[in-house]
Amino acid sequence: MSSDSGRLIAVGDVHGCGHAFQTILKAIAPTADDHLVFLGDLIDQGRDSAEVLDQIIELQNVCDVVVIKGNHEEMLFAAQEGDVALRYWENCGGVSTLNSYRFGATLSDIPPEHWALLSSCQPYYETDRFILTHANYRSDLPMAEQKAYQLRWALLEPDEMQPHQSGKTVVVGHTEQKNSEILDLGFVICIDTACWRHGWLTAIELNTGELWQASRWGMLREAEEPTHRGLVPVA
């Protein structure tokens, strides 16, 4: 799928950080021509998962929105299948998501519109220059043949990574960067910069390299000149 007009903006793992998300959206100021792609893990860990999902639903009325399925969304859906999966999800940040609806909430408190939004998540998003997915990829397989585990759970190991066979730049989240800085290998870029812990929520306009980052408290990071090799515009 190709985006031939407007900005193409990738947004890293929000993890329920409502203040950071509000700050990023205000800084981006989306318009009807823009394409915002959320790389998954919208929920869990932070305190405002319900609010984040509400904001994304509202954002769908403003611009083109794509939501990619992360491992935390996968855990939420699995939690409906039984107590073992429910406890596992709760221990991975799901309790914070439930409490964002009301203290002591259960899965039944999640409204239908939030289930519908999360059910619409895609495994990846591809344009003529970029591939966006949650976690990782196999370099020797087209995206349509990638396994769900690879796309949602596999950690990105810099020393083992190879360019995707398509030659496109791949943009991912999931592998939390302990130094809270973007990992840029040129052919793959990871923008999970650990917002819910101590770092930043990161969003990047992929065609120009324009960068927005906000802390979980909603403080915008001072902008710097784009330096990411994978984001050099086509001449």
pLDDT of 214 over the 90 cut: yes
Q: Note the pLDDT tens digit of each residue in 15-40.
A: 999 999 999 999 999 999 999 999 99
Q: What percent of the chain has pLDDT over 70?
A: 93
pLDDT of 229 over the 90 cut: no
Give mean pLDDT, residues 140-168. 98
pLDDT of 72 over the 80 cut: yes
Query: Which DSSP string do the residues of 145-206 spell out, in sequence order?
Result: G--HHHHHT----GGG----TT-PEEEE--S--TTSS-EE-SSEEE---BTTTTSBEEEEET
> What pTM was estimated for this model as a whole?
0.93
Per-residue pLDDT, 199: 96
Q: Note the pLDDT tens digit of each residue in 190-201.
A: 999 999 998 999
Per-residue pLDDT, 222: 85
pLDDT of 234 over the 50 cut: no
Per-residue pLDDT, 197: 94
Q: Note the pLDDT tens digit of each residue in 42-60.
A: 999 999 999 999 999 999 9
- Domain ranges for the chain, please list them: 8-223
Find the Cα–Cα–Cα–Cα dihedral 194, 178, 187, 202, rounded to 10°. Answer: 20
Pick among 3.40.720.10, 3.40.220.10, 3.60.21.10, 3.40.190.10: CATH of 8-223: 3.60.21.10
Residues 27 and 220 sit within 8 Å (Cβ to Cβ)? yes
SS3 for 103-117 is CCCCHHHCCHHHHHH
